[in-house]
Structure 1
């Protein structure tokens, strides 16, 4: 999909910009390629810098309510320092590397709900203007896909996924937000836990997997959350071994008593209060986990329009856009 916008900050007749991304989903920690296509306006200009911003729509906990905003996850400089003559056309190819913690937006072609985009900024003669957004699709890493498939083969159903502003204490998280993938247990374990939230924090040398369980109240105990952190590698292993690995995690998470749980409390939005779990985001429903382990549609797929309206979604709160400083407040 190609977006075009006249750079209004540069005045009528200024240069225009199109950014075209290579087709297909990218991977966390992998390359993202494409080209920025420029067309000169009514006069010669010097293009000082071409920047690409990886932006995400996130949820943040306020004092009384949950709010949504836009956060910049990474910024790349892909060109600049050249003269663009009147009416000239120029293509600037680029290849950048996405952060390892880049959220996953789709699984087996099914949208999960989180919305990411690539925003192009052009700086000319000290003026800077934001171009339109290209929606960015990100598929899971092989290890992430295998873990999600293991949940499905163990009978868990996927319900939603969203992005939360803040950091998870006790982890190596680098981005200003984290992804929560919400799943529900099979009937045989419904008496012990309401739902489970899974967060992947990938890095070059391996991956942290944070699992939070919303445990039901028992005859002699109150309901409570337990949060556990596990580590795994990116190495390919047999799916049966992944299933066993995930099953061992679940036995520890669900079977752990409060006195023996080793929590890693969340710190959303820079606060230190108890972690708040958000409800499903707009259209955040997964149809299945793998071709051989379909869980079935939970509530129906309604996420397709989210991608179609990505530009409007981000434009609604451009003023909230920022880096880690957005965590406060």
Structure 2
């Protein structure tokens, strides 16, 4: 981006700011580096603080229907406490750690339609201005990639990916929203479900894998989903047969969907030891996960999930461009939902 003159709260003639992120996609829980370039305005000012906000476009369900808004999910103060002279140029380097639950926005370099950004806030003499907004690209952790690749190898099709405001009950989720990847079933399971929804909640030690199956319509199954959870450790990425593992998870999900009304769960083994499993069969409610969003951000071809030389999930076409994110009202704030 070019330098952006701050004309809001700080006023005409204020400093300019341009945040430049280090090149390439970053990992959830990984390091985001870059520099904040400042240029003084028509007079010297005291820079009280420079803060980076991680923002995401999130869908929310409410009584009136669904809506989208910007949610701030992390803030970092990366500088401040210095005087910026008239027309002075200064660069402030930064290196911050992303939350482990930061959504994945691309796979094998292909965008999934998840819109993330880094917004720079500059505080001068008690006034704050959000002066720069840059797109953030996040690639999956190795264990997340292994699971997504296995789904592609097994014949599941990519339908959409979005961010849903709310929390999934019974998990260790920390952010106020979660990422949901919607898949069309492979030929083996097309008779049993319309779609499968996948959430991959990362933590420092591993991954919570949440699978949900929308059951085909019947009077008994209407309005109910089968929800199944598994945990795996980061260290297991190189030791598992992921096609067999993921297919086993899908079979468990399908096999247990019939007992949707029991509200029970069972657990085997230790968390992140690879054998931790839970099954719940409930109505959607405010303490559960919400259903699929209406604003799909990725349109895939008929094949959906393409298995190529890398054998993974590739979105064929992006229909909601990231540029729209920067045209949104930046005053929507950090707790929209």
TM-score (norm 1): 0.88
Give the structure 2 partner of residue 288 of structure 1: 306
Deviations 1:122-157 (A, max 9, x none): 001001001131000000001000000011111111
Q: Which residue of 1 aligns with 2:151?
A: 151
Aligned to 1:227: 227
**Mapping for residues 194-233 of structure 1, pairs under 5 Å:** 194-217=194-217, 221-223=220-222, 224-233=224-233
Cross-structure match for 2:6: 7
SS at 2:226's partner residue? strand
For residues 92 and 267 of structure 1, what CA distance do their matches in structure 2 show? 46
- Does 1:320 pair with 2:332? yes
Contact persistence 2:169–2:287 (CA under 8 A): no
Alignment of 1:23-34 (within 5 A): 23-34=23-34
Please say if residues 199 and 211 of structure 1, whose CA atoms lie closer than 8 Å, have aligned partners that are also in contact.
Answer: yes
Give secondary structure in 2 for the equivalent of 1:209: strand
For 1:1-329, what aligned pairs fall within 5 Å after superposition?
A: 2-8=1-7, 9-217=9-217, 221-223=220-222, 224-238=224-238, 241-259=241-259, 262-263=279-280, 271-272=286-287, 275-283=290-298, 285=300, 288=306, 291-293=309-311, 300-303=316-319, 306-312=321-327, 315-316=328-329, 318-323=330-335, 326-327=336-337
Separation in 2, partners of 1:25, 1:265: 37
Counterpart secondary structure, 2:145: helix
DSSP-derived class of the 1:310 partner: helix
What is the number of equivalent residue pairs in this alignment? 315
Taking the aligned partners of 2:124 and 2:155, their CA distance within structure 1 comes to 55
| CA displacement 1:196-254 (0-9 Å, x = unmatched) | 01001100011101111112146x95343111111011125448611222111111101
For the Cα contact (< 8 Å) 1:157–1:184, is it kept in 2? yes
Distance 1:237 1:57, change over 3 A: closer
Give, in whole Å, the separation in 1 of the partners of 2:236 and 2:76. Answer: 31
Question: What CA distance in whole angstroms lies between the structure 2 residues aligned with 1:217 and 1:173?
Answer: 30
Root mean square deviation of aligned Cα:
2.3
Which runs of 5 or more structure 1 residues have no equivalent in the other structure? Answer: none
Shift in Å, 1:186: 1.4
Quote the Cα distance in structure 2 between the aligned partners of 1:322 and 1:39: 27
TM-score (norm 2): 0.86
Unaligned runs of 5+ in 2: 265-278
> Residues of 1 paired with 2:305 and 2:130: CA distance?
35
Q: CA contact under 8 A between 1:288 and 1:294: conserved in structure 2?
A: yes
Counterparts of 1:115 and 1:291, CA distance in 2? 27
Q: Secondary structure at the match of 1:167?
A: coil
* Aligned 8 A contact 1:161 1:284 in 2: no
CA–CA separation in structure 2 for the residues paired with 1:321 and 1:25: 25
Inter-partner Cα distance in structure 1 for 2:14 and 2:326: 22
